[in-house]
Every structure is written in C-alpha cells, then in structure tokens.
Chain A
Amino acid sequence: MEQGSVTFDRRQVFRPFLSRINPASPGALGAQNLIVPPEHDPHDPDQPPIHVAFANATELTRGVQTALVGGIGSGKTTELWLTAKLLKRHKDAINITIDLAEITDLNELNPGALLIAIGMRLYFRIKKPERSADVGLAYQKLQELANGTTKWVEPDESEYPDVDDLHDAPALVKIHTPGLLKPRFPAIERQVAEVQSLVSAIAEPLVASDAQITVLIDGLDRLIVPEKFREFAEQDLRALRDFPISVILAAPLLLWFDKSRFLQDYFDDVKHIPTAISDPEKSDFLNQVLLRRGAADLMNEHEITELSRFSGGVLRDLITLARTSAEVAYREDKDRIESTHVRSAVRQLGKRYLVGLGRTQRRRIRLLMDDEGFLVGDPVSRELLVNRQVLEHFSNGRDSFAVHPALAEESS
C-alpha cells in the first residue's frame, strides 16, 4: 500500500447504522434519543398517546390497573418504557419494572409468584434505615415462599395408621351447594392471601410516605394461552387491588378479541396497539422511526418507504427489514442500501412467515388476499394472527385484517 493512501473500510459504513437500528433494549434506544414517541392514541387521533394516557391515569388515581394489548413486535415494551419515563417527572414516583421472563418460567407461573416478585422489588426501594423489623421479617417470609424451605422432622407414626383401621373410620363425603350469586372472579387462594399480607407489610412504609407507586409488568403477553393470563390476573392482580399501587401491564393480543371481554371487565382501562399505518401517504410514523435511526445515511427515500410498506406496520419487522437490507448491501460490496437489497430482505422475511403454513392456513390466507373475509374466532385464524402472518389494523373506528405484505409478496 502506498504511504499516505486512505483505506476505505466499509464496515464503518454499516456498523453505526446496525447498532442504532437494533439496540439491546428500549432503555438503550431512549438513552440515544432514538425513540419516536407516537403523537396520539392509535385508535383515536384526538386522544393522547397511550403512554401519556397511562401515566395520567396512574398519577391521578392510586391503585388503577391498566392493560396494554398488541401483537408480537408492535412496540408494547417501548410504550411501557415511555410510560415509566413520564411517571418519573414526579419526585415521589417509585416505578417497579418487572419482566417476568427474567424472573421465572412463565409456563410454570404459580398464583402468587408475581405478587412475591413485586414485594421483593418493593423491599429494595425502602431506604435501609427505614426497614423496620416487621418489614425485614415479611421479606424473609416472602423469600421462603419464593424459594421454598426444607425441614427435617421425626417421622410421626400416627400418620401411618393400619389399613384395617381405615375401614372403620367415618367417611366424609363432600356435598357442595352452589351459591345463587356467582362471583365475578374466583376467591383469592389461601397461599396468595398469605403473600398479600406480607407484601402489605413491606409496602407499608412506602405507602405511608404517600409515594406514587407503579408496577409495570412486561412479558405476560408472551403467554400465548390466554387462560394462563386470566388465572394470574384473577389472583395476583386482584390481591393488589387493596393497595394504592398502580399496575400497567402488557397482555396477550388474543384477549383483545376474546368474546368473554375479560380484559375490558377486569381492568380499569385497556389500550390496544394495532399495527402502525404502513402507507407513508397516510402516516410518516414508520419513516420517521427509520430516519431517527440514521436510515438517510444509507438509503434514499424510496427505499425507506419500501421498508415501511413491507413491514406491514409491525415495528420489529421494520427493524428486521432494515437490518437485513444493510447486511445484503454489505455482502454485495455496496456502500448504500438499494431497492434490490430491500426486495431481498422482504423475500427473506416473507419466507420466514411462510415456513410451517399448512394447507388450511394457506387457504385461509388466500381467501383473505382475495377479500373473502377473515373470522377471528376460529383456531386457525387466531394462530395466523398470533404468528403475525395476518395483521390487525384499526381504521375508521373498526378492526380489519390483512395478510402481512411480506408474506403476501412471497405467496403471490
């Protein structure tokens, strides 16, 4: 190499973009000012954005419980992060952010487990000098309930009576007469009630200081079976109702379409994030997301618009398409992302959605592409919706459904 010549390192072209486009967490995005906050409620342009509505409700009503529903990759975690950030404008705000997947196996979630997690987090928000003996004891008991205990005891012979004696013992037959008044929600289990009293003891100093306590729970939306979410809400969340502690959580999308209307019945407020408007002529939100993360350095407006359009309004897919396009361009020794690279990324995403589709699902997708309707009630349709092969949109006051544009492109 000649002395003084400059070597052009193409990695330095793509690396900054890729690190901006897909940081580790919304917190990292926020720290770099890379989040484009929505300007209004996706269901009503005259209403404030979801994070503002949630923050206001929490600030004004202690103990309010709200839920956020949206499909995979729709931006629920970011909304929760924005809400938490806004709540911090008050000095007495105590935000407890919990991602359940970090704590426990969601598939084995026992009633009371979340309440325990909340109690333990609350404990660490009490300043050490203010932790009374009662608070310490409650925390210790909570830990025992969380981790279980092992005791060694002498065997008690009376527990093992002779088999013959059993025949003489009076048999108790359970006769249950159902009540006339059916409760809205089942009774809180005894173990959950025990956790509830311990959490109450721990929370007492914080509650007494009149702090604005909010628990933000992420991860429950990953429970694909809505019944599990329901069980948890009916026990842990209802046990929290007695406290001036607000709850904001992410819930599974399928509950939004559930005929029982459990979400709407149980929660004080429920917000839905549908897929974002992907037609740049109607909204430039998705384009702005890309521009904020440096897309203009690597591609022209046409490519940005194509990425937005083929994302179908799914934020995670928008990011995936941008990242894949950059990787394709790099592989092809280009310094900028061109239309062919975007197309290649769209094909890749479309193939990902295509894998695993059986004949019935493909027929359902074909029907939807031919405008022959989509019934959200049946299991095949619900699976397509959860897997994002079919996307839910909201416009003009009603839900509508469409095949993911990357999948539609690949299917056609």
Chain B
Amino acid sequence: MFLLIHADGEQPAVEADLQAEAEVQLGSRLPTGPVSDLLNEPGGLELNDRNPIRVLRIDRWSPELVALLDTHVIRLERSRAQFLFLTTDKLSEQLLGAAPNFRSRLTEVLRILPDDVQGGALE
C-alpha cells in the first residue's frame, strides 16, 4: 500500500500518468475511484488477478471514511492486492495523524510529480 502525495490541483495529471504507465508496463488500465468505494464493496474489493492494483483517491476530509480506512486496513492488506492512495499534502498530514493503523501498514509514503518532457518523478 502506497500513499502518493501530490500538489493541489495536480491530481488529474498524476492519475493520467499512472494510467499511461500501467498501460505500458501491465497492458491494462488501473481501476480508479474515490476511497469511498471501500464503503460500497463490503463483500470484498472486487479485486482479481487481472486488476491486482487499485488507485483510490482521498480528495476530501471525512472522519468517517478515515476511521473506516484505519480499522479495515487489515482487510486491504489481506487481499494481497496493491493499493495506491492519492492525496494532497494537507490531507496526508491529517490522514496520517488520524489513522495510525493505516500509517503502520503503508509500504511507503511518496511525493509524486506529474510527468514532464524529461520524464516522470517519484521522490
């Protein structure tokens, strides 16, 4: 599970870059949606071998959603899928403070920049 932090307003560009990269590397599109999708899929996250990676946007502050993410992170981990959580600087700070279980199970926290003509960048 990776937390990818982008600057305000860069989410569409970052998502487009991730999609382009997935299509080149994996030959498929990444399922992408808001983190509230987790609420709508109580019976599992509809992950399968074709889509082992899932992009989830955290684009607004919701204590309920963060609490859900924090207490159910074990289910995400056990799914053995890979999750890329996209969020902004400010939200990441709030999120990591309020969701210690989630923080503890993150593989990495990365700052992501949209691709430019010289190539993409992950810090």
Contact = CB atoms under 8 A, between A and B. Distances in A.
B103 A352 contact: yes
Interface stretch (A100-108, A295-303, A394-402): A100-108
Contact of B104 (A106, A107, A388): A388
B120 to A, nearest CB: 16
Contact of A355 (B74, B96, B101): B96
Interface class of chain B by DSSP: helix
Contact of A107 (B64, B74, B78, B106): B64
A101 B64 contact: no
Contacts of B100: 72, 224, 386-388
Contacts of B105: 316
Interface in B50-105: 64, 67-68, 70-72, 74-75, 78, 80, 92-97, 100-101, 103-105
A101 B71 contact: yes
Contacts of B78: 24-25
A189 interface: no
B109 interface: yes
Interface in A323-363: 324, 348, 351-352, 355-356, 358
A40 B83 CA distance: 38
A62 interface: no
Nearest to A109: B71
B96 A356 contact: yes
Given A107-B64, A107-B67, A222-B70, A72 B96 contact: no
Interface residues of B, number: 26
Contacts of A99: 74
Q: Which of B70, B92, B96, B104 has the most CB of A within 10 A?
A: B104
B115 interface: no
B101 A356 contact: no
B40 to A, nearest CB: 13
A175 to B, nearest CB: 37
B123 to A, nearest CB: 10
Contact of B92 (A224, A355, A386): A355
Contacts of A352: 103, 106, 108-109
A137 interface: no
Interface string B37-50: 00000000000000
A355 B96 CA distance: 7
B68 A356 contact: no
A106 B71 contact: yes
A24 to B, nearest CB: 6
Contacts of B74: 99, 101, 219, 222
Nearest to A353: B103
Contact of A348 (B75, B93, B103, B108): B108
A24 B77 CA distance: 8
A102 B92 CA distance: 26
Contact of B70 (A224, A358, A383): A224
A355 B109 contact: yes
A144 B94 CA distance: 39
Contacts of A24: 78, 80
B51 to A, nearest CB: 19
B109 A101 contact: no
A72 B104 contact: yes
A355 B92 CA distance: 8
A23 B54 CA distance: 21
Contact of A101 (B75, B96, B103): B75
A320 B95 CA distance: 20
Contact of B72 (A72, A105, A324, A387): A105
A72 B93 CA distance: 19
B92 A107 contact: no
Nearest to A77: B74
Contacts of A106: 71-72
B106 A105 contact: no
A223 B93 CA distance: 20
Nearest to A99: B74
Interface of A: 24-25, 72-73, 99, 101-102, 105-107, 219, 222-224, 316, 320, 324, 348, 351-352, 355-356, 358, 383, 386-388
30 contacts: A24-B80, A72-B104, A99-B74, A101-B71, A101-B72, A101-B74, A101-B75, A102-B75, A105-B68, A105-B71, A105-B72, A106-B71, A219-B71, A222-B101, A223-B71, A224-B70, A224-B100, A316-B105, A324-B107, A324-B108, A348-B108, A351-B109, A352-B108, A355-B92, A356-B93, A356-B94, A358-B93, A386-B100, A387-B96, A387-B97
| 9 interchain residue pairs of minimum CB distance | A356-B96, A356-B93, A106-B71, A72-B104, A107-B67, A387-B100, A222-B71, A356-B97, A386-B100
Given A219-B74, A316-B104, 5 more contacts: A72-B101, A106-B72, A107-B68, A224-B100, A324-B108
